[in-house]
Amino acid sequence: MAVVDYGMGNRRSVEKALAHVGARPLVTRDHEAIRAADGVVVPGVGAFPRGMRNLRELGLDEVVRERAAAGTPLLGICLGMQLLFERSVEGEAAEGLGLLRGAVRPLDARGERVPHIGWNVVRFERATRLTAALPQEVAFYHVHSYVAEPADAGDVLGTAEYGERFVSAVARENVVGVQFHPEKSSRYGLRLLAGFSASCGSAAATTPAATAPATTSTPAHAA
């Protein structure tokens, strides 16, 4: 499994969490290694325009699109989920990978502090292999100031509430994304990663044990 290294945070913590659930992750920006992988993870923390700029400069945007089009399981995490969409209004605005229809806009926190940092319950709207080992409602750790707004309601997998009710997980065929950080979300985050790894054929059969969530400091800029 390839964890795409485009210089935008949380790569190593995602790698460690995937290894914990029995996957064999490789943090890489090598095109051929990504093409050879049985699954692709696009992690990330930070600003959408910079993330897309980094992907384009490294030629990774086309490789990720190629793998998605080939049916390879693809998981976007935090900023990585936002990059799956067509565009964002953040900063100078930018076009995304366009794997899912829709845009990324500021979170309407309705008076709550932004960025949104903390544990919030995600309500899953439908069953998928990714969430098969999870309750319908479960708390995950979020760090973000922007949210994705899918154009297709059928792409919404899970929602959470912080001020407004926002989309926290999406799925369309082999392309999935989560706004939260499963690698920092204790046992249920690990179960979600195990579900993704299983869809790639690279996960251990056992369910991971619970672990304490990692301590996270407030970022200079949250996705």
Q: How many CB atoms lie within 10 A of CB 123?
A: 15
Residues annotated as catalytic are 78, 181, 183
- SS3 at position 105: strand
Tokens of 31: 């095109």
> How far apart are alpha carbons 60 and 53 in whole angstroms?
10
Residues 6+ apart with CB under 8 A from 4: 28, 29, 34, 40, 41, 42, 43, 55, 60, 64, 80
